[in-house]
Amino acid sequence: MKLFVVSDLHLEASETLGTFGWDQEEFIAMMETVRKTHSIDKVVLNGDTFDLCKSAYSDIAARNEKLISYLTGINALFVKGNHDISLPFGQKHFGVINGKGEKIYIEHGHRGDFINGTAVGRFIGKMFYRFLKCVTRVSFIQALYYGYLEQDEGLKGHRYYNSYKYLRHAVKLHRKYDVVILGHTHKMEHHDTYSRGNYKRYFNSGSCSFGRFQGIVLDTETLDHRAIRFDPPQASKKYAKPVSRPGRAPSFPSVRLSEALLLGPLHRTYSYA
């Protein structure tokens, strides 16, 4: 079976906190290109597909009706993340055992840190987003918020973040599983590890927010994999600048499908556990 694992679309209905950055039809066209090119059997949406910290699901569904209809129509599998943990459907994780007995495990990955991996931390985060939703109605504060996101998402140069704690989380999972795929960090990664003398793989599927299109294609039988990555050119100049009118969502340009998809294996690093 061939899987295409994507995560962190952060679909929402907020007028001031939007970060998806895609026209629905163009996103669907990109998804169809990958599905047909790589003969995908199952699309796995690995958490934070919906940003329920910012908007109610009913409002998100109304605003993104065409995209959600498409995803349900292709029987995409929804895994819950920290931003959509209260989703009325979906599951906490997804697993496959191939013909050789190798175990593939997919989860969002937020259990690797306190703020997102515990009920207390998520409550703090939800209260923060409620506060942010109010104050970003002021255009100046909205500009500060999106300026921060530029830095945090790596849209303005290199992004610094603690990848160790998520790698450590994956290594713990490697005690039971041969391949682990996480999302959550918005950072594509691939680490080959050895756990108890056995060869293991860890992937991170990146993010499909801010007009990016990132994911992992994995053949569950052969474990052959491909990284799918599309990063809009000059993202730092285009994707985090809110419009000048207060109370409106940031203006994201549509992404031309003629822009190239980057298809290939991720850079590998090696570690031992």
Phi-psi region of 209 (alpha: psi -120 to 50; beta: other; left: phi over 0): beta
Per-residue pLDDT tens for 207-252?
999 999 999 999 999 999 999 998 776 443 344 333 323 333 333 3
| In the chain, % of residues over pLDDT 90 | 55
| Whether the predicted pLDDT of 262 surpasses 60 | no
Whole-model pTM: value is: 0.82
Instruction: Reply yes or no on whether the pLDDT at 267 is more than 60.
Output: no
Q: pLDDT for 65-84, tens place per residue?
A: 999 999 999 999 999 999 99
Q: Which residues pair with 215 in a beta bridge?
A: 228
Whole-angstrom Cα distance, residue 148 to residue 152? 6
Are the beta carbons of 223 and 3 closer than 8 angstroms? Answer: no
Phi-psi region of 179 (alpha: psi -120 to 50; beta: other; left: phi over 0): beta
